[in-house]
Structures are given as C-alpha cells and as structure tokens.
Amino acid sequence: MERSRHRDLAVDLVLAGIVAAAGLAEVWVPLESVQGTGSPIVSSVAIVLAGCLLALRRRAPIALVGVPATWVLAGIVTLGDLQILFFGELVPMYFALYSGIRFGRPRAAAAVAGSVALAVVIADLTIPYLQDASELLFHWGILIAIALIALGVRRSEARAVAAALRAERSEAEARHAAMLAVAEERARIARELHDILGHSMSVVVVQAGAAAEVVDDDPVAVRRALEAIRSIGRDSLAEVRRVVALLREDEEAGLAPVPGIDRLPDLIAQARDAGLDVTYSVVGNVDALSAGRGLAVYRVVQEALTNVRRHANARSAAVVVTATPDAVTVTVTDDGGGHAASGAAGHGLFGMRERVAIYGGELEAGPQEGGWHVRAELPVLGPS
C-alpha cells in the first residue's frame, strides 16, 4: 500500500512537471496559441503555481480549486491584461477538472468542477477573444467531455471496488462456513468414535473380567466370553474403518451401510452376553425411518446401555422403540438405583443430546423410581 502511494505521487509529480513545462514553453518560445499582451512573468508564476497544485491531485483533491482561482487572481492583479494560453491555462484546468471529479470526495469534486466552470464563465464574459461561437463550443465541449469521462471512470472504479469487497466478503463467508463444517465434522467423528469404542471396550472389559473369574472352573464360559470379545472387536474394527474411510473420502468404503434400528438386536445380545438382562421391544413401523434417524436411535441405545454397564450397577434394563407417523421415541430404563448413573453425564450424554438435537428432537435423562431412564424423541419429518 505504501509503495503504491509513493508510485502515485511520483506519477502526479511527473504529470505536473510536464504540464508546467508545456505552459512555460508556450509563454517563452512563444507558441502561436498565445493570445493577448499580458506579462509573461505573471503567466509563468501562475503556471508554476498551478503545476504545484496539480501535484496534489490525489493526496488533496480539494487543492485543485486553486488552479482556476490562480488565473482569476492573476486577471484581477493585472486588471484583465492577461495572456490567454492553451497549454499554460486551459490544459491545467482540464486536468484539475478531471482529477477533482476522479479522485475527490463528492463535495470536493463538486467544488473543483464549480470553480473551473466559474473561472471559464468569467473569462468568457471578460475576454472578447473567447466569445467567438467556435471558441465557446471548443472549450466548453472539451470541459463537458472531460467531466463526463471522469465521472464514468469514477463510477466504474466504485463498481469494481464494490465487486472486490463483495468477493472478499463472500470468500470470508465461505472460509467461515468451511471452518464450521470442519468443526461439525470433527464433532460428528468424535461422537462416532466415542460411541463405537466406548460401547465396545466396556463390553470387552466386562467379558474379560467374567472370563478371568471362571478361567479355572468353566472353560466353556471362558470360550464364550472370548468369542464375544472377538465378535465385538471385529464389529468395532469394521465401524472404525468406515469412519476412517469417510475421512479419507474412500467412496466405496464410505458407502458402507451405517447401523440402524435393524442392528439393535445385535446390540441387545452383546449387552446380555455381558451379564445384563435386557428386554427389547418395538412398537409401530420403523421401516420408513430415515438412515440418519435410525443411526441416531442406534447410538442413543448404544450409549445408554454402555452407561448402564459402567455406572448404574444394574441387573436389568428395558429398551423400547415406539414409532408413530410423527415421531420415533426410544426409552432405556434400568434398575440401578438412579444415583450412580449420574456420573455418565459427560461426553456420552452430551453426544446423545447433540445427535437428537440435529434432527430437531429432545432427550431426557435422569433418575426415576428404582433406577435411571433415558428417553429420546425424534420427529420423523423435519430438517436434519
């Protein structure tokens, strides 16, 4: 930015020097364009002063009011005996008019344009040479054309700046949306991994503990526990691979079916193998439920049963899924006393609430008479 300002100032200084040099050459050569018998010295002073003011056309556009004012003042000082110049007088006014409209704020642009127009009107009224019809048409035609060109360039630049700002704002919004999407995806993956590994590892720990207690007395029970551990590990590994495949954008693996309500019997069987007496029932038609809502129900049941085994010290639990045309409700209750399960209100309960909230549903969790309950209700239709 600072380099651009220095470059613009250098361009303005060179332009002002060229305009002043052309005006001085017109006076002292002299060129045929000079009219009148005024003092070359007065004209030279006015040319140099106007050139200095033109050098400020970007930094201080309001200073360009001084360009026509300089020649009006020179005419007053010489009582009208002033040289009429094209390069030294009219050309600086052209540049002042263009620069004032092009670079000045609206008030400054209006002031510069008004001062130039006023100076030309005064000259037309006081100098007979300028009152010829062809001369009037010439210098006023050029002034109007310059004003229109400067106004067009100003508007085009304003539109370009506005378009750039809109593009930058859109890019910032896109970056923000991408960051939100990444954060949401990370949260979703965290929930997935927590649900998969938390449930599986708790069952593995229970099965391993049970096998350790009967390793010498009941080989059949040990074998059954090891088979359950292997089965759970295999299923968990498959789900972890699915999540990793989604992260790697592996289309074939990423399109693997996600667990839903149809997988709940396997989940119940794992809980029973871990020593928890679980009853399971489905009321209504759940076949029409979307895959996302089915996954949410599956995860709620999975996390609730995991919390029962970890925290509730319960012997039995009941899972009920009720489907109506408007909503699907899942309820998990246990007989663990209702006080120890409150320790589960960490990532698991938070993850359940977040999953249900994604589909516009509600989740209740808390103690009940003789145990703990989790109840989630998800609307069948609605935004996800």
Q: Which residue has the higher pLDDT, 228 or 299?
A: 299
User: Whole-structure pTM over 0.75, yes or no?
Assistant: no
At 344, the pLDDT band (50, 70, 90 cuts) reads very low
**Is residue 4 very low, low, confident or very high in pLDDT (cuts 50, 70, 90)?**
confident
Beta-sheet strand order (sheet of 277-283): 277-283, 316-323, 327-334, 371-379, 362-368
Each domain of the chain, given as residue ranges in start order, spans 2-131, 261-384
- How does residue 156 score in pLDDT terms, banded at 50, 70 and 90? very high
Q: Is 218 exposed, middle or buried (0-12, 13-18, 19+ CB in 10 A)?
A: middle
Task: Report the C-alpha gap between 259 and 236 in whole angstroms.
Answer: 11
Could you report how far apart the first and last alpha carbons of the chain are, in Å? 46
Q: Which helix (H) or strand (E) holds 19?
A: helix 2-28
Q: Of 129-133, 214-218, 261-265, 336-340, which gets the smallest average pLDDT?
A: 336-340
Q: Which residue has the higher pLDDT, 358 or 301?
A: 301
Residue written as tokens 């809109």? 166
Answer yes or no: is pLDDT of 127 > 90. Answer: no
Structure-block tokens of residue 103 = 């670079």
pLDDT score for 251:
45
For the chain, the C-alpha Rg in angstroms (whole number) is: 43
What is the CATH number assigned to the segment(s) 261-384? 3.30.565.10
For position 196, what pLDDT does the model report?
A: 63
Q: How do residues 100-120 score in pLDDT, each as one tens digit?
A: 999 999 999 999 999 999 999
Given a cut of 60, is residue 289 above it in pLDDT? yes
Residue 63 has pLDDT above 90, yes or no: yes
E runs forming strands in the chain = 277-283, 316-323, 327-334, 362-368, 371-379
List the one residue out of 243, 255, 160, 140 whose CA is nearest residue 196. 243
Name the nearest CA neighbour of 95 among 17, 42, 27, 30: 17
- What the block records as the tokens of 14 is 């060179």
Half-sphere exposure for 329 (CA within 13 Å, toward CB): 11
For residue 60, the model assigns a pLDDT of 92
